[in-house]
Every structure is written in structure tokens, then in C-alpha cells.
Structure 1
Amino acid sequence: MKKIIFLLLAFILTNSISAQILYDNGAIDDPNNFTLDGRNWDHTNLTYFFENGTTDITNNDEHIAVEQAMAIWETSSEITFTEVNNASNADIVIRWATGNHGDGSNFDTTGGVLAHAFFPPPNSGSLAGDMDFW
């Protein structure tokens, strides 16, 4: 689970950390598969909000895994993370969803797309990347 969350954050924070660091830590197999888009936040203290959790993981363990992954990012970069109490104040909104979940990029749940992230603002809605977990 921690590796999945770490990979998801890698897509969210594409311009905040280099592909080489991800490669060195084993998060990606080939740094050539990691693309920087050129968009980034204009600040390094990123706020986040948990929109929901998942019943697939007991207690609050999904939140703990995300927070542990963020702590790794904080020690490996100049980024800090602060949890906020609503989505409108968040740079990153974290949610668990299935199928058609309202953002135009459905999850197919049949061995295909299980997670995705979008570029930082200004977000034109273009998809940063889908992730398939086998």
C-alpha cells in the first residue's frame, strides 16, 4: 500500500522532485518513463485534504500511509505538507473512488486504471497519468 501511495504522489508532484531521486529509490524502473510537464506550484508548502477514505483498508491506515509517504517526500525535497480542513483550501485533494467518479476519467477496475492524478494549477483538466497496478 505504501508503494502505491508513493507512486500516486510521484504523479501528483511531477515537478517537485527529480526523476533521478525516484529512480534511485526504486519508485520507477526507468527514469525515461518519467516526464516533467513544466507546470508546478508557486510554493513549496503544499496543502492536502482527505475527501474520504476506503472501506478496503481498516481503521485510518490509508491516511497514515499517505502521511508516511509525504514525510518521505519532505526529507527528500524542499516540499512540506500541511493538512487542511476542506478541499477548497487544498493543493492536493486525496480521494478513493470507483468507476465513473465525476472527473471524466473513469476507473475501469478490470486490471487497468486504478489511480490517476492531474497537473498542478492552472489545471486544464488534462490527465497527468494513469497507473496500472498488477
Structure 2
Amino acid sequence: MESKDVPQAHEIEKKCFTDAWSPNLLYKELENDLAYYVVVMDGETMAGYLGVWFIMDDTQIMSVAVEPSYQGQGIGNLMMEHLHEVSEQKDIFTMSLEVRVSNYKAINLYEKFGFEIITTRKQYYQDNKEDAYIMYKYLR
């Protein structure tokens, strides 16, 4: 992701998440040495993006978002496949994430890629105090 992509990423954030990241936070992520962001474009239109932090031997998934009009077309699968390849190239040991317990689409995607629910964080999300599943995938 580049700075020119932030406005579209923010629009997708607002459509996908009740606690959308601000444009300012997305710009700061571009300066974060731990962060890695990938976008999927359809011409000039962003179809989705994925953001992670590479922390030691873990890929911490921060955000996976697909523009609602592109959902169901394999964009999430494409980004997760790419992330898996990059993580293996970096000799990463685990991949981890938090996901709302109500986000069945995301949970199904992550389980399809071998993630397992490890535990639940009670009242994790600040906007509505919803619980989060902590999910892990071991790469080796």
C-alpha cells in the first residue's frame, strides 16, 4: 500500500468495520517498519487490502478487508495465499489474529487457511465490548 491508496482503504474500512481505522492511523502504518500491507486493485478501484505486522517469528494479522461489492470473488483467498507465501519466505513460525466472534465470514476464511481458535478475549472491542477470538496458525 502507498499513501495514494489510503483514501480508498479508509472507505473500505468504514464499510467493513464498525471501528474503522482513521486515515491518519493508516498513514502511520505506512511508516511502521513492522507493517506490511498488500492491496488488490481492479483497475483504479481497490478491491481489498490486507495489513500485518511481522514481529519476530510471528505474522500478526492486523486487518483484512474486502470492498463489499467484491466479496465472494476470492479476493480474501488471494490475499491470504500471498501472505502465507511471504510468511514462509521470512521463516515465520506462527500467524496470529483477533477477530470478532460475530464475524463468521472472516472466521470461515481463516479456518480455511488452517487457523484455529485458541481462546476468547472478553470485551476486546471498544466500540461495543464484543468478544474476540484469538486464532493461530503454525507454519512449522
- Do they superpose with TM above 0.5? no
TM-score, scaled to structure 1: 0.28
Whichever structure has more helix as a proportion of its residues is 2
Whichever structure has more strand as a proportion of its residues is 2
Determine which structure has greater relative contact order: mean sequence separation of CA pairs < 8 Å that are 6+ residues apart, divided by chain length: 1
TM-score, scaled to structure 2: 0.27
